[in-house]
Structure 1
Amino acid sequence: MRSAGLDLVKWTAIVTMVADHLRFLWPAADGLFIVGRLAFPLFCLAIAVNVGRSPQGQLFTRGNLRYLGWMLAFAVLSEGPYRWLDPATQTLSVIPTLTLGLLAAWAVWHPQLQARLIGLGALLIATLFSAQLMYGLPGVLLPAAWLVARNRGGVAWLLPCLLAVAGNLTNSWLLEHLTAPVTVLTMLAALLAIPLGCLLLRCDDRPVPAVGRWGYLFYPLHLLIIKGLQGVL
């Protein structure tokens, strides 16, 4: 079923992600980096909601396999545009992190052994290659943490809050400058993404355009457009 609230979450994630990447056109607008910290937790929320909609115990459905297939395909297709835009990057694009996060969320949602083994494999990969993953191991755990918090409530809400902050601290500069204003504001933005996501999900009565499968293509395409505009502006 289409959810206007979920579409609003996706649109907010897309807009804040694009705002962050506009720094490649206007390097002086470094405040956009802080705005961009809202995007990743919201994308993780979208994954958690989608996983939570599937019947528990039905892991290898056509829908789940198609979902994973799209993620894997665009993880490959996006890497070239991502590295072309940011040749100095030390990490992969964000999609491998989200893909492993999907597998970890499956392990939390589905009770069968296969799901737990798949999730364990995802966490092992995330642990071994945390330095190469955007947002590292905390980022891989975030979709599962969203699932746990939404189902258990209470103190469980600390999990996504802590992981959203910890994911940003995989950035070595932020970790080395914990008291710098930009670091404090970055951590605050990541933290606020959690209640913001909850608020947006409740907006099911708003007329929001649907975010369909074009959303997968949007990621590499907007990177290519920004790179193209660098040669013009």
Structure 2
Amino acid sequence: MNPSRCTGLDLVKWLAMITMVADHLRFIWPTADWLFVIGRIAFPLFCLGIAANVARSAAGQVFTAANGRYLGWMLAFSLLSEWPYHALDVGTGTLSIMPTLTLGLLLAWGVHHRTQGMKWVGLAVLLVSLLATDVLMYGWLGVLLPSAFLLALRGGWGTWLVPGFVAVAANLSNRWLRDHPAAPFTLMTLGAALLSARLGVSVLQGRYPMHVWRVGRWGYWFYPLHLVAIKLLAH
């Protein structure tokens, strides 16, 4: 599959942003634990968006102006997002989600383009992710998730289970979930992570009679700015 710019891709990004905001609304309503479950849909959908974007590029053509801009924006907002993220006092001890997604993009490029240089880049990214797994949100498995989606898009509908189970494993970087594997809340959380892959692939590959508002570069700004807004509303 080589998805072109389509309504399905924009819908995936909108769903990712909506579920992310729902998750972060817990900082305004701390007792609304169910928002955490909904929030487990967001990260896999962001990873699917990365995979779809990577799949659109011709294999072997990694050094393009478009890819340079893509990586530049990801790196820039990896830096710009740290202060708003930590300003919420999340207490997780990890970086924001942006470094995980940026490393995931680089690894997906290595998987997709398969040039000798990108293979080494992919191996280096994987090594860094393993060494830095404790400070990366969702750990090294989170870095792996865009590549898992990329392979799923190549293999057809049934392989959504692969990124689904990677998403489940990545969520187990949360200590409370690991320590309470049989708790109903844990099962609901991991179930949402698993099914998010099926939901995302279905939305991406759907056919729609309408177009939705395109999620362009303003989407990069949305992440740190919504964190600032929630911080202000929470006090």
| Matching residue of 2:146 | 143
Give the CA deviation at 1:230.
1.4
Task: Report the secondary structure of 2:31's partner residue.
Answer: coil
Give the CA deviation at 1:208.
1.1
Identity between Structure 1 and Structure 2 (%): 58
Cα deviation per residue 1:58-79 (whole Å; 9 max; x = unaligned)? 0111111110110000000000
- The residue identity in structure 2 corresponding to 1:58 is Q
Q: 1:10 aligns with which of 8, 13, 35?
A: 13
TM-score, structure 1 as length reference = 0.96
1:206 and 2:210 correspond: yes
Judged with a 3 Å threshold, the aligned counterparts in structure 2 of structure 1 residues 161 and 213 are, in CA distance, closer, same or farther, namely: same
Give the CA deviation at 1:90.
1.2
| Matching residue of 1:183 | 186
Asked whether the 8 Å contact 1:9–1:46 carries over to 2, the reply is yes
Give the CA deviation at 1:186.
0.5
Structure 1 residue ranges (4+ consecutive) displaced by more than 4 angstroms after TM superposition: none
The equivalences for 1:32-43 within 5 A come to 32-43=35-46
Inter-partner Cα distance in structure 2 for 1:61 and 1:204? 31
User: RMSD value over aligned CA atoms?
Assistant: 1.2
Give the CA deviation at 1:87.
4.8
Task: Report the secondary structure of 1:27's partner residue.
Answer: coil
Inter-partner Cα distance in structure 2 for 1:126 and 1:155? 28
Give the CA deviation at 1:89.
2.3
1:77 and 2:100 correspond: no
| Matching residue of 1:216 | 220
Q: 2:106 aligns with which of 86, 103, 106?
A: 103
Judged with a 3 Å threshold, the aligned counterparts in structure 2 of structure 1 residues 3 and 154 are, in CA distance, closer, same or farther, namely: closer
Give the CA deviation at 1:158.
3.2
Judged with a 3 Å threshold, the aligned counterparts in structure 2 of structure 1 residues 20 and 73 are, in CA distance, closer, same or farther, namely: same
Q: 2:48 aligns with which of 42, 45, 49?
A: 45
1:161 and 2:164 correspond: yes
| Matching residue of 1:26 | 29
Inter-partner Cα distance in structure 2 for 1:175 and 1:89? 15
Q: Structure 1 stretches of 5 or more lacking a match?
A: none
Name the count of aligned residue pairs.
231
Inter-partner Cα distance in structure 1 for 2:172 and 2:226? 26
- The residue identity in structure 1 corresponding to 2:105 is L
Give the CA deviation at 1:199.
1.5
Give the CA deviation at 1:156.
4.1
Judged with a 3 Å threshold, the aligned counterparts in structure 2 of structure 1 residues 21 and 87 are, in CA distance, closer, same or farther, namely: closer
Asked whether the 8 Å contact 1:5–1:204 carries over to 2, the reply is yes
| Matching residue of 2:231 | 227
Q: Structure 2 stretches of 5 or more lacking a match?
A: none
Inter-partner Cα distance in structure 2 for 1:207 and 1:153? 24
Asked whether the 8 Å contact 2:7–2:211 carries over to 1, the reply is yes
Inter-partner Cα distance in structure 2 for 1:208 and 1:161? 26
TM-score, structure 2 as length reference = 0.95
Give the CA deviation at 1:114.
1.1
Task: Report the secondary structure of 2:134's partner residue.
Answer: helix
Give the CA deviation at 1:129.
0.6
Asked whether the 8 Å contact 1:9–1:42 carries over to 2, the reply is yes
